[in-house]
Amino acid sequence: MLAALEDGVKGGKWYSLIDKVWKDRSLYAAWEQVRKNQGAGGVDGQSVHGFETNVRREREYIRGQLESGRYEPLPVRRTYIPKPGSHEKRPLGIPAVRDRVVQTAMRNVLEPIFERTFAEHSYGFRPGRGCRDALRVVDAMLKDGYQWVVDADVKSYFDTIPHDRLMARLEERMADSRMLGLVKGYLTQGVRDGMKEWTPEAGTPQGAVIRPLLANIDLNPLDHHMAGKGWKMVRYADDFVVLCRTQEEAEAALSEIRAWVTEAGLMLHPEKTRI
């Protein structure tokens, strides 16, 4: 994918991306990933098995719609699952299988572009990285004397990301209007809960394959901002810690985080952010 992408880059921006999404090889690879992950069907009622039964026709339809610029995401089906340790239920979004295939192909194209820009201390939802890697780094720093820890959490982060700012982040590396339009289409795809349907004004779609990647793109400037200031931060999605040697350093780091988050139009979770 990187070799194919290099042909479309000029001045650090990629101008030809959407054609990498609709290629047969790309759609086939994306379908194999969706098939492996399984999961329930979306608002159209089509299951993974149902898609597989007509997989050739489905891939041809997706390719035709993407190539002609007519592809439109289906609404996300809202359902609810039990919340551990509570009588409440947690909302869950289930995209249509067709949209999961398209988003997986999109992620496979976008991820190599943005991976090269991500900070070393970002560990969530990245290839070859995971929570154990993040924990090993934190453990090593604690043993090295960084025993004052700022534990921070952005409140309702995935549901409150400003669309305009996220699109601006994407436009820093992409100039393919059709690819940008497809991302925007997923940010504003409807949510259907029974007979109700609405269009979100902020955040990334629940259950979306590209949701974690978009979050990493949006928070990448925070990573580099903190690294540039010399802070020892470890981030996993919207949860992160900053390790310091003294209480004074920890208080200063927390102030730095609060200022950045506020300027970004976000909010730290008051009950989950502490020293």
Express each pLDDT in 117-140 by its tens digit: 999 999 999 999 999 999 999 999
Q: How far is 189 from 72, CA to CA, in rounded Å? A: 9
Residue 10 has pLDDT above 80, yes or no: no
> Which residues in 131-167 are b (16+ Cβ under 10 Å) and which e?
eeebeebbeebeeeebebbbebbbbebbeebebeebe
What does the pLDDT read at residue 1? 61
Express each pLDDT in 37-56 by its tens digit: 999 999 999 999 999 999 99
Express each pLDDT in 103-121 by its tens digit: 999 999 999 999 999 999 9
Length of the chain: 275
pLDDT band at 13 (very low <50, low <70, confident <90, very high): confident
What does the pLDDT read at residue 72? 95
Residue 6 has pLDDT above 80, yes or no: no
Query: Average pLDDT of the chain?
Result: 93
Structure tokens at 11: 């001045």
What does the pLDDT read at residue 3? 60
What does the pLDDT read at residue 84? 79
* Residue 150 near residue 253 (C-beta atoms within 8 A): yes
What does the pLDDT read at residue 231? 96
> Which residues in 247-272 are b (16+ Cβ under 10 Å) and which e?
eebbebbbebbeebbeebebebeeee
The residue written with tokens 């000029």 in the block is 10
* pTM assigned to the model: 0.92
What does the pLDDT read at residue 219? 96
> Which residues in 18-48 are b (16+ Cβ under 10 Å) and which e?
bbbbbeeebbeebbeebbeeeeebbbeebeb
pLDDT higher for 85 or 26? 26
Residue 200 has pLDDT above 90, yes or no: yes
